[in-house]
Homo-oligomer: A and B are copies of this chain.
């Protein structure tokens, strides 16, 4: 089995491998929100790239989430704050979601053999799943508007590290770099990311509590998988 890490959705066509499981990562905050919602009882999350598509689903009676540039869009039920999904009204509901980066990455990967959703919140669960599946793996980092970002790469490095003892080898430079970067954090991601562009980008939005939550490791033992109807479910 091989592991590769793609730092930006714009590069994904260079990595596409019809035998691979694609692990989509958008730590701040789309994949953290999806994991949290499903772990807290939502029946499914329906990722869509466009805001208009999210609105159409909402008009059909679905709960709908939309975020651009860190801000929840007017008229929607949710943004991409994971904490906002810690409510009981999502129980057994399906929620459509469109975000700046994360749902674009899922869209880019949707022809893959399988798409799974990872965040620090469910990293060990994803690692266990990958070890069980014994397939090639591509970590697809959502980045920020197709640029590299630190937090997504760190998670790719962390999960790579978790699975590297189980037959998964990698001479992929971006995976090697991601592991080195993760191993430099000393476990304190919040301080490590203090200088990062995304932390700075989100800081004026008062999202410190959200960020702290998104950086918690292994809170949920769930693995969202994209099904053939385009729903992420457990």
Contact = CB atoms under 8 A, between A and B. Distances in A.
Interface of A: 7-8, 10-11, 14-15, 144-150, 153, 171-174, 176-177, 180-181, 184, 195-198, 200
Nearest to A15: B147
A223 to B, nearest CB: 27
Secondary structure class of chain A's binding surface, majority of residues: helix
A198 B171 CA distance: 9
Given A11-B147, A15-B147, 16 more contacts: A10-B11, A10-B14, A11-B146, A14-B147, A147-B174, A148-B174, A148-B177, A150-B176, A171-B195, A171-B196, A171-B197, A172-B197, A177-B177, A177-B181, A180-B181, A180-B184
Contacts of A180: 180-181, 184
Chain B CB count within 10 A is highest, among A8, A15, A198, for: A8
Contacts of A177: 148, 150, 153, 177, 181
A106 to B, nearest CB: 20
Contacts of A150: 173, 176-177
A99 B153 CA distance: 29
A198 B177 CA distance: 13
Contacts of A153: 177
Nearest to A153: B177
A195 B198 CA distance: 30
